[in-house]
Chains A and B, each alone.
Chain A
Amino acid sequence: MPIESTAMPMPPPPPSDPDRSAARARVAAARTQHWARTQRLTAVLLGLWLATWFGTVFFARDLAHLSVFGWPLSFYLAAQGSSLIYLAVIGAYAWRMRVLDRRFARLLAEVA
């Protein structure tokens, strides 16, 4: 997706004045909502990230007695599990943000 076509913050001017201000208000509201959703998503995923690494390390001694397929749970989480969760966090973020971006682009197209 080239930046030039969609990065324009404002839609091209529609014919009449009241229409234009209404459209502008809609776009502004959509932008605010987009940012609020981005923030919420970021906060949730960062929470998951923090819980993963901090929990793994802080409770490592308590988890060491449990075992998954031969690994002590804490060793598995530190060596592989937490890294795989990070990867999932980044994947989820990229996917969800694309959905949000597309929704916004559709609204822009509608207004225009």
Chain B
Amino acid sequence: MSGANTEGKRYFRRLSRYYLWFTACLALFLVALGILEREGMPRQWIGHLYMFGTIVLYATIGVVARTSNVSEYYVAGRRVPALFNGMATAADWISAASFISLAGTLYLHGFDALAYVMGWTGGYCLVALLIAPYLRKFAQYTIPDFLAARYGGNGDGRGTTVRAMAVGATIIVSFTYVVAQIYAVGLIASRFTGVDFSVGIFLGLASILVCSFLGGMRAITWTQVAQYIIILVAFLIPTMWLSAKFAGNPVPQVAYGSVLPKLAQREAQLARDPREQQVRTAFRARADEYAARIKGLPHSWEAGKVEAQRRLDVARSRNAPLGDIRTAERALLSYPRTADEAARLWTEERAANLARAQPPEPHADPFPGKTPEESDIRRNNFLALVFCLMFGTAALPHLLMRAYTTPSVNETRVSVFWALFFILLIYLTMPALAVLAKYDIYTSLVGTDFSKLPTWVSYWANVDKANPLISIVDVNGDGIVQLAEIAIDGDVLTLATPEIGGLPYVISGLVAAGGLAAALSTADGLLLAISNALSHDIYFKIVDPGASTQKRVTISKLLLLAVAFIAAYVASQKPADILSLVGAAFSLAGSTLFPALVAGVFWKRATHQGAIAGMIGGFLVCVYYMLHTNPILGGSADAAWFHIAPISAGVFGVPAGLAVLVIASLLSPPPSNASMGLVEHIRAPE
């Protein structure tokens, strides 16, 4: 025992040494790039260096950690120390969306967006207390493994039905999520290096594949630790700089408390400012115009089309400058093709203009509303969203899979602690970044002359022409920027922070590399979760139980390749509807898997039939609610129960799944002795 212990310690020390070296090299790399930038190296090159440098790094770790041993491939040999498992989990967890968009969401939605911070971190309590230690004690390979062993006592004795359903849930949840990650890889690559979106996707894919294809869980774990370090450095450097600049204290989590009251004052001032009101009135007038046009359909559509054509003809006949003709042509081309499309587009435009006609909401006020009912609805939605994110987190297969990789149950418990610790290093900084950036924009950008806009505004306005990240238009023509004239996309905030704070471009590149690391690390974990479910659970456990270990790993690698290419292909089609459904993955995971997982440990009477019924019940309720209420899926928001938004469908799905599981279990014969024995075993201390 003590021999294994000292060997574990030696292994831990060796790993720590490697990663300290890695961090030092990263620092050297940054300094070197900073010097090169001073010497006049163009921005494009810096972007390329980061992109290729990090991808080569991840691929190298993949090559070094390559393996074809089953235990190494599926669970990293079960010897990842708690601290490093926590780091890898944090990288697994911090997706492109939370790295790039969360700070922007907090900027745009103020208090409401804190639901993401509360929910995503709170889920770890459920993971630590209810699921992770028991999975480790069970000591197999995948989540379907556990469900099949626990609920497989009756029927054919192997739990094939439960296993297949768990695999289905794993794939549905993980696939939407991985498509979003790969999409983000393409977006970051194309914004920072100027390569084509699809080229960016396939470059990112190459690095994911080299890593997970060669070394499975083992390579992914060691890559993710490196990626976490990059994510952390990339996020903290600019935020600390900004914090020191505006609050005189380089610890943003502590410093922004002093900025909040100043921000609240400024918000109140801007809400009353007559020029702001002038701009808002202009937007309201535009919204009214769209309302009138929608009312006049279909005649207004025909009249508008004739008018657009006429303008083009006029421009051509009087030999107007080429720019004017182009503008007129574009207006005609983008004109809605049918009256129905016009109705949809104009309704959207009207809503967008109406939104911009609203005065700014106070950032730190919880649930502002015109009436108490409206305020209550917002509070209930906040509660529902927190609930779904928590229970979804506790049921995401790629995250739970990590519980299998530590040397002991105790290490698993400690590793969840470290995971949350490392996640909080980033997540507690996000609200600070949002407040600091908001204060800067409200005080120094608002009120500047249009001829003196800071360079970062014009730079980021031109990065993505189709979908501008920031746009400032002088609506009331007074030559001065008003808050209501700024339209900002949430994504730009994290990306532009270094420039807002006046840092060199090297740091901007680092932030992009951090976003890339966040997307790649999450994609790695998800792809492995999907391909393991297919190869281990479907192929090995159901199709060919006699397969040799060599064959199992080979099949797994081939499936990984196939899944990765399908996901990349889907992402390259820019599927807007899949991307908008990523939030829904949490509700689905929570409703389908959470009840069966927890009842499997804590309720001996839970049966095979109960688990199947509970999974189906939770899934159906969740999907029904989404289809029923999400406009993208053909539902209508008016159909919502208690005004709960479709993204929080899990608030109905999880209780429904639990209730169905309990009822069906009580109605079916008690589970077999084998299942009982398994429950006793996983509950017992080591």
Contact = CB atoms under 8 A, between A and B. Distances in A.
Tell me if B's interface is mostly helix, strand, loop or mixed.
Answer: helix
Interface in A1-52: 1-3, 5-7, 9, 31, 34-35, 38-39, 42, 45-46, 49, 52
Interface in B81-129: 111, 114-115, 117-118, 121-122, 124-125, 128-129
Nearest to A48: B125
B122 A49 contact: yes
A100 interface: yes
B382 interface: yes
Nearest to A74: B366
B170 to A, nearest CB: 25
Contacts of A86: 121-122, 124-125, 420
B125 A49 contact: yes
B633 interface: no
Contacts of A76: 257
Range, interface on chain B = 35 or more
A97 B413 contact: yes
B112 to A, nearest CB: 10
Interface in B320-373: 364-367
Interface stretch (B199-207, B484-492, B535-543, B678-686): B678-686
Contacts of A64: 364-366
A112 interface: no
Contacts of B117: 78-79, 83
A94 B410 contact: yes
Contacts of B407: 1-2
Interface in A60-85: 60-61, 64, 68-72, 74-76, 78-80, 82-84
B421 A97 contact: no
Contacts of A101: 409-410, 685-686
A90 B125 CA distance: 6
B576 interface: no
Interface residues of A, number: 52
Nearest to B386: A53
Contacts of A3: 139, 408, 686
B5 A1 contact: yes
Interface stretch (B185-193, B234-242, B283-291, B424-432): B424-432
Tell me if A's interface is mostly helix, strand, loop or mixed.
Answer: helix
B578 to A, nearest CB: 30
A78 B115 CA distance: 8
B424 A60 contact: no
Contact of A79 (B130, B414, B431): B431
**Residue from A9, A70, A72, A94 whose CB has the most chain B CB atoms within 10 Å:** A94
Contact of A9 (B5, B133, B258, B681): B681
Contacts of B366: 60-61, 64, 74-75, 78
Interface string B646-686: 00000000000000000000000000000000000101111
B466 interface: no
Nearest to B369: A61
B685 A104 contact: yes
A57 B431 contact: no
Interface string B606-619: 00000000000000
B308 interface: no
B684 A1 contact: no
B375 interface: yes
A19 to B, nearest CB: 22
B417 A90 contact: yes
B639 to A, nearest CB: 25
A79 B125 contact: no
Contact of B375 (A6, A61, A89): A61
Interface in B252-283: 253, 257-258, 260-261
B1 A57 contact: no
A56 B121 CA distance: 14
A91 B386 contact: no
Contact of B685 (A5, A45, A84, A105): A105
A31 B681 CA distance: 11
Given A61-B375, A80-B428, A2 B4 contact: yes
Given A60-B379, A69-B257, A91 B428 contact: no
Contact of A82 (B122, B417, B420): B122
Contact of B416 (A7, A34, A90): A90
A69 B254 CA distance: 9
A2 B114 CA distance: 41
B118 A82 contact: yes
A94 B417 contact: yes
A9 B683 CA distance: 11
B379 A79 contact: no
Contacts of B367: 60-61
B257 A71 contact: yes
Contacts of A69: 257
A86 B383 CA distance: 17
A72 B260 contact: yes
A57 B386 contact: yes
Given A53-B386, A100-B685, A93 B128 contact: yes
B686 A6 contact: yes
**Residue from B409, B414, B685 whose CB has the most chain A CB atoms within 10 Å:** B685
12 contacts: A49-B122, A53-B118, A57-B118, A64-B366, A71-B257, A75-B366, A79-B431, A86-B124, A86-B125, A87-B421, A90-B416, A94-B416
Given A61-B379, A80-B253, A90-B420, 14 more contacts: A2-B1, A9-B684, A34-B684, A57-B118, A57-B379, A60-B366, A68-B257, A71-B364, A79-B428, A80-B431, A86-B121, A90-B124, A90-B417, A91-B417
Interface of A: 1-3, 5-7, 9, 31, 34-35, 38-39, 42, 45-46, 49, 52-54, 56-58, 60-61, 64, 68-72, 74-76, 78-80, 82-84, 86-87, 89-91, 93-94, 97-98, 100-101, 104-105
Q: Which 10 interchain pairs have the tightest Cβ spacing?
A: A70-B257, A60-B366, A94-B413, A78-B114, A79-B431, A83-B121, A75-B364, A101-B685, A90-B128, A2-B4
